[in-house]
Amino acid sequence: MNYTYLDTPIGELLLAGDQDGLRELGFPDGPKRRRAEPAWELRDTFFAEAKSQLNDYFSGSLRTFSLPLKPSGTPFQLDVLQQLQKIPYGETVSYGEIAARLGRPKAMRAVGAANGRNPIPVIIPCHRVIGSNGKLTGFGGGLPTKSALLKLEREA
């Protein structure tokens, strides 16, 4: 696996992937803090397009990513990730709404678990999923990061 780091307004993000696409985006803080593994190879230029699109996103000039992505997960988790990619920029939905879109309206907790295992946050926008009461809920990069991403999208 290849990797690099990118300085962003929410901290230094880890990007990891291979010739098939981006496989991971890791946060510097929070419950899902992620760093490169010893066997990985540092290759900054390999991620030029991902870095460019992320920089554009953080500057407010990009609303939709167009990168080859190769997230891992169970079939259900991958279905949830596909639904996350359909949430429009600057909007939020609840876990229950995602479950309903999947035809499994009672699977809110399973959707929450799949959302929490998203290996490519920000690009696959799990930060756009909130509780049914409108409150922010858990986020791998920490709630301050989730709040910052939602604020960025509201103000762009």
Active site residues: 126
Query: C-alpha distances in angstroms, 88 versus 44, 72, 154?
Result: 30, 23, 11
User: What residues have CB less than 8 Å from 32, skipping those under 6 apart?
Assistant: 26, 116, 121, 140, 141
Which of 85, 16, 80, 81 minimizes the C-alpha distance to 51?
16
Pick from 6, 8, 31: which is nearest to 16 by CA? 6
Inter-residue contact 87 to 104 (CB < 8 Å)? no
Q: Are the C-beta atoms of 70 and 17 separated by less than 8 Å?
A: yes
